[in-house]
Structure 1
Amino acid sequence: MIYDPSRANPLSGNPLKTRDDLAKAVIDLFKPLLPYFSEGGARVRLGAAGAIFDRAAADLEGFARPLWGIVPLAAGGGHFPHWDLYRQGLANGTNPAHPEYWGDLADRNQRLVELAAVGFALALVPEHIWEPLADNEKKTVSAYLVAARNLEFIDNNWKFFRVLIDLGLERVGVAFDHGKTVTYLDEAEAFDLGEGWYRDGPVRRVDHYIPFAMHFYGLIYAVLARGDEARKQRFRDRAQIFARDIRHWFGPDGAALAFGRSQTYRFAAGGFWGALAFAGLEALPWAEIKGYYMRHIRWWSALPIADRDGILSIGYGYPNLLMSESYNSPGSPYWALKFFLPLALPHDHPFWAAEEAPQPEFSEPVALKPAGMVVMHTPGNVVVLSSGQQHDKMRGANEKYSKFAYSTRYAFNIEADDRNFAAASFDGMLGLSDDGVHFRMRETLEEALIAGDRLYSRWRPWQDVSIETWLIPANPWHIRIHRITTPRALSTIEGGFAIERADFNADRSEQAEGRAVCNGQTDVSAIVDLSSRPRAGHTISAIPNTNLIHAKTLLPQLRGELGPGTTVLVTLAMALPSRENWAEALANPPASPDIDELERHFRENGVRVPAFDLEL
């Protein structure tokens, strides 16, 4: 029997058009987990891969994360037939005398993350998971949760986990110190960047944790918390503003922007749209919100995102440990079920009653100032230029945060071997090497500015090498200008967008001085050099399994050598679906900007990117 990738996805075959379709999706996603529940119901072990935390915490993750979808399903009147299993697991997992005990709690421990889902369940459906428990079981569960909420949580979106635990305890009548709740809420609000954006802690970056964590939990609080009306209104007001920006992180086909860490949470990225519905917040017309929401889950339904038995894999468009984080256990992907929050709403809610509206057209670039990003809507795709993001403390951080361009259609590659310069893809990046073997890319920044729809950054791949980069939208192209000052010779490789390879190696490529073009399975990717001394065009098949969406990709590159001194490189890059008029775009590239004019523009109009504007 030929392997059918559509079978490696519990969502496959579901039209995902209605509320009932989504209710079915929750059950279909949950069913493959049943064989992996332990005898006592408290542990769910889905694989042998490890994470930075212990196995008991990983097993708790497998138990708790499905609740993000199960709880809204039940709250909205849907039938979930396994509450007895969850009650048994909750009682046993919190009981130190039981062999399936989840383990002792500690500051900044993974268990604090997963217990937020338990708090959410107590707050929304206590009749299913709390009230049927025996009195001694309630004492055991509440003691474990109170002990957890009294500990220290990481200084980022984790602060909301204490808040969610507290919402659950309050709903079931367990006493605790509310002062700690207020403290964490105040500290979480201090991450506000303005214009609806937050930081995810004291860091120089914004990513999907802003919509699917900071706003998501804030809107849940706005619905479930008693009192605190002024704060709840602030959460609603910020989400209202933010919706107008975050819609530009979604393509016309429903794909979210592949950017930042924790990509294995997949359709959690669409949870923000569901949270707006849950909060009754019509930040955009309901039809538009529903369009973004439903297109997103349908996009995921067509990808092989699960293992053969239907368990969601660590990966993105397919199983792939290379792009995972150190904190991803086999149960981690089930945070994706946060997407299903609006199932808590009745059938006749305006969100469910609305007809889906398509994504509006945006003909001009859109600046997302707090994030240091400029967005271009191109045919079938959204391209995001970025200057102002950095993360230097995780694997693949350069690729996840510091590329020049990100895309909803083409995703990005992660380099598989930093000691193989010639085989690196450098999609959306400039790679440099001083020995022809090892290489550096943009990592951390010294400066990040935005001026209208133009971006600037200054960075150092080595301490004695300085690079200034300007990014300019020129739809469907974008322009990159690099002014490089180096005391020694360097080799350079700069990449365009990575596209899916064609079957049977039927790709067509063009390589010439100053230009390279790739024709792949369904798309065309091009890169052009406008430098005074053009680099050599080159096409490369990337190492397999390095792209987030496609297991096999190819991309165009420019390769060259730099001597000591100052050199200016000017690059054009674009990618379009093959069905579009890419040949016309290729025949009419934009002209090279005047660098003196660019510098004047930034002197007069440039402001520091708010996400970057933080002393570390």
Structure 2
Amino acid sequence: MTYDPASANPLRGNPLETRGDMQRALIDLFDPLLPYFSEGNARVRLDAAAGHFDRAAADLEGFARPLWGLAPFSGGGGHFAHWERYADGIANGTDPNHPEYWGTVNGRDQRMVELAALGFALALVPEKLWDPLSGRARENLLAYLLHARQYDYADNNWKFFRIFVDIALNRLGVEYDRSLTRAYLAELDGFYIADGWYRDGNVRRIDHYIPFAMHFYGLIYSRLVDDDHAKRYRERALAFAQDFRHWFGEDGATVPFGRSLTYRFACAGFWSALAFADFEALPWGEIKGLCMRHLRWWADKPMTHRDGVLSIGYGYPNLLMSENYNSAGSPYWAFKAFLPLAVAEDHPFWTSPEKPLTSSREPIAFRHPGMVMMPCKGDVVALSAGQENRQMRFGAEKYAKFAYSSRYAFSVESDERAFSGGAFDSMLAFSDDGIHYRVRETNEEAHLAGNVLFSRWCPWPDVVAETWLIPSSPWHVRVHRITTPRELQTIEGGFAIARRDFEADTLSAGQGAAYAIGAEDFSGIRDLGSTVSREGLVQKAPPNTNLIVAKTLVPHLRATIPPGETVLRCAVLAVRDTSALSADWSRPPAAPDGDELLALAKQGVTVSAMNVPGRMP
């Protein structure tokens, strides 16, 4: 017998269809944490991996994040056997004289993030966390919260964290400076773009933080507070739901894109928050289906350690793809998906039969995130241009690839000095020395003309690349016009698919094409008449680079381009169909007309992500 890593997944075998199934899933996911609570119950330390903040803040993270699921579970009548442990932990963690004190909060402190979960739980189930506290413990807790809220919070979704503390203080009858609440509500409105879309701060970044943070917190607010902001949050959620449903495939998988993907099924948090807020932004059967299918998608993934504790990673434990702010407790933001447990069993979220995904068969263009969502035989491919993240690790891979897939995810690179060995899925990489490389990190321009994305970007200050992305489901077409003063080596990659042991996969590479056939998938890239000759190659990508599977194959086209202007054209295909060689692969799309593409580059609308307030596009 060999160990099956997926067997440790607490969701394994759970049908995840009913309210009882979701309740069981929550407890099954929480119980592996119990051995890691400290003696005074204020800290939960899961392993030795660190975030950039101190250990006390990381331990608070492990303690607090499960409250996003535990509070609605208990508020909806579920029996949680360890509330006494949490009450003790709060009393000890906020006591400056206790050895498990969480530490004093300073400006833009990680503790601010975790106190939002505490504020939410205090507002929802005060009888579990407030009523059991002694007079002295209550004084310490209030002093801790009031001290924390006086500092400035980061200019993004963090501003909701103080608001959640304020909601708790209000429900507990505590006096506080309400002008600070009003100021942050106004600043959060400044991040709103239009049509339900936000930025996560005034940056070129529109990712999963919009559904699982900005809308998630806004919808909770709309249930707990009755004011004009609550009404606006619901109106925006209604508009956003019409678009966000297209990020999900028929099997429940969402398109992995951007940072913090270790939060995993928090990606269903938007649908869960609609249930919590009792807001039917789509028919309840569709909302339920989107939420529950996404949870089910995770049930067979080896996403935990052997003890059932959620790992840092996505489809499997993987520190390589993590952010600098991920500690071992970070993944438990996934518990945001359990908000529906707060609503009764007779709520229409639970009584409505699941409805299948309502999606268009045609590509759908979204100006604000700069994406064209392309349905692809049950999966979803997102063509992308206009976003960036230069502040965080692997920002280029997480935000600036040409395409992202619900089935094939994306890969991060493992060595910036290994040009010939990179994965480069859905990227065009350049090298002037055969060792180091440059890829698209940001855009000088990004336009959307119909369903075609155009971007202008510079891998070096003296090298200009213009890229067109054209949907042609199940294919997509890429055209690049490159102007360079010197010779450059190039590698362009298709999608990464799972690689089997014993060289069991079929690999084919030749002049102008490469493809791989795995156990279930086909992935290929085909040249469509570039101005230089390109050689195909199937890259056995470095392990642990892809988010969903640890070993992958990526088809490449490789060429050296001369000084001057070069045009590269290709079509890319990846499908869950091992017979694609005689079907889709034999019917590639035609190369687009060059003059038409040049005209499109001057047309269309600027991708909203480019237009950051106070910054020139």
Task: Give yes or no for TM over 0.5.
Answer: yes
Contact preservation (8 Å) 1:490, 1:562: yes
Partners of 2:53 and 2:60 in 1: CA distance: 11
Partners of 1:167 and 1:503 in 2: CA distance: 54
Alignment of 1:135-534 (within 5 A): 135-225=135-225, 227-228=226-227, 230-530=228-528, 531-534=530-533
Q: Which residue of 1 aligns with 2:557?
A: 558
**Unaligned runs of at least 5 residues, structure 1:** none
Shift of 1:566: 0.5
State which drifts further: 289-298 or 277-286.
Answer: 277-286
Q: Which residue of 2 aligns with 1:60?
A: 60
Shift of 1:571: 1.2
Partners of 1:94 and 1:109 in 2: CA distance: 15
Q: Which residue of 2 aligns with 1:122?
A: 122
Shift of 1:257: 0.9
Contact preservation (8 Å) 2:540, 2:553: yes
Report the 3-state secondary structure (helix = DSSP H, G, I; strand = E; otherwise coil) of the residue aligned with 1:188. helix
How far does the alpha carbon of each residue in 1:349-393 deviate from its partner, in whole angstroms, 9 at most, with x for none? 011111111112421110011111001101131000000110111
Report the 3-state secondary structure (helix = DSSP H, G, I; strand = E; otherwise coil) of the residue aligned with 1:480. strand
Alignment of 1:23-34 (within 5 A): 23-34=23-34
Amino acid corresponding to residue 381 of structure 1 in structure 2:
D
Contact preservation (8 Å) 1:576, 1:582: no
Shift of 1:92: 0.5
How far does the alpha carbon of each residue in 1:234-274 deviate from its partner, in whole angstroms, 9 at most, with x for none? 10010000011111111111111111000100000000000
Report the 3-state secondary structure (helix = DSSP H, G, I; strand = E; otherwise coil) of the residue aligned with 1:395. coil
| Alpha-carbon spacing, 1:401–1:181, altered in 2? closer, same or farther (3 Å) | same
Partners of 1:290 and 1:220 in 2: CA distance: 17
Q: Which residue of 1 aligns with 2:611?
A: 613
Q: Which residue of 1 aligns with 2:567?
A: 568
Shift of 1:581: 4.5
Shift of 1:580: 6.2
Report the 3-state secondary structure (helix = DSSP H, G, I; strand = E; otherwise coil) of the residue aligned with 1:348. coil
Amino acid corresponding to residue 322 of structure 2 in structure 1:
S
Partners of 1:245 and 1:368 in 2: CA distance: 8
| Alpha-carbon spacing, 1:602–1:486, altered in 2? closer, same or farther (3 Å) | closer
Partners of 2:545 and 2:157 in 1: CA distance: 28
Shift of 1:142: 0.8
Partners of 1:129 and 1:407 in 2: CA distance: 42
Amino acid corresponding to residue 20 of structure 2 in structure 1:
D
Partners of 1:586 and 1:444 in 2: CA distance: 31
Amino acid corresponding to residue 331 of structure 1 in structure 2:
G
Amino acid corresponding to residue 539 of structure 1 in structure 2:
V
Contact preservation (8 Å) 2:205, 2:387: yes
How far does the alpha carbon of each residue in 1:192-220 deviate from its partner, in whole angstroms, 9 at most, with x for none? 11010000001011000000000000000
Q: Which residue of 2 aligns with 1:39?
A: 39
Partners of 1:389 and 1:177 in 2: CA distance: 37
Shift of 1:606: 1.4
Query: What is the TM-score with the length of structure 1 in the denominator?
Result: 0.98
Shift of 1:475: 0.7
Amino acid corresponding to residue 519 of structure 2 in structure 1:
Q
Partners of 2:579 and 2:272 in 1: CA distance: 33
Partners of 2:578 and 2:591 in 1: CA distance: 27
Query: What is the TM-score with the length of structure 2 in the denominator?
Result: 0.98
| Alpha-carbon spacing, 1:445–1:361, altered in 2? closer, same or farther (3 Å) | closer
Amino acid corresponding to residue 123 of structure 1 in structure 2:
A
Contact preservation (8 Å) 1:199, 1:210: yes
Amino acid corresponding to residue 585 of structure 2 in structure 1:
L
Q: Which residue of 2 aligns with 1:90?
A: 90
| Alpha-carbon spacing, 1:579–1:556, altered in 2? closer, same or farther (3 Å) | closer
Shift of 1:284: 1.0
**Unaligned runs of at least 5 residues, structure 2:** none
Q: Percent identity?
A: 59
Shift of 1:129: 0.7
Q: What RMSD in Å do the two structures reach over aligned CA positions?
A: 1.0
State which drifts further: 579-588 or 401-410.
Answer: 579-588
State which drifts further: 130-139 or 400-409.
Answer: 130-139
Amino acid corresponding to residue 589 of structure 1 in structure 2:
P
Amino acid corresponding to residue 159 of structure 1 in structure 2:
K
Partners of 1:308 and 1:173 in 2: CA distance: 44
Number of aligned positions between the proteins: 613
Contact preservation (8 Å) 2:534, 2:559: yes
Q: Which residue of 2 aligns with 1:8?
A: 8
Report the 3-state secondary structure (helix = DSSP H, G, I; strand = E; otherwise coil) of the residue aligned with 1:325. coil
Partners of 2:582 and 2:219 in 1: CA distance: 46
Shift of 1:462: 0.6
Contact preservation (8 Å) 2:513, 2:527: yes
Contact preservation (8 Å) 1:379, 1:580: no
Shift of 1:78: 0.1
How far does the alpha carbon of each residue in 1:452-500 deviate from its partner, in whole angstroms, 9 at most, with x for none? 1110111111111010101100111101110000000000000000000
Contact preservation (8 Å) 1:370, 1:609: yes
Partners of 1:249 and 1:361 in 2: CA distance: 9
Shift of 1:582: 5.2
Partners of 1:36 and 1:268 in 2: CA distance: 23
Partners of 2:552 and 2:325 in 1: CA distance: 27
- Dislocated runs of 4+, deviation >3 Å: 579-582
Report the 3-state secondary structure (helix = DSSP H, G, I; strand = E; otherwise coil) of the residue aligned with 2:444. strand
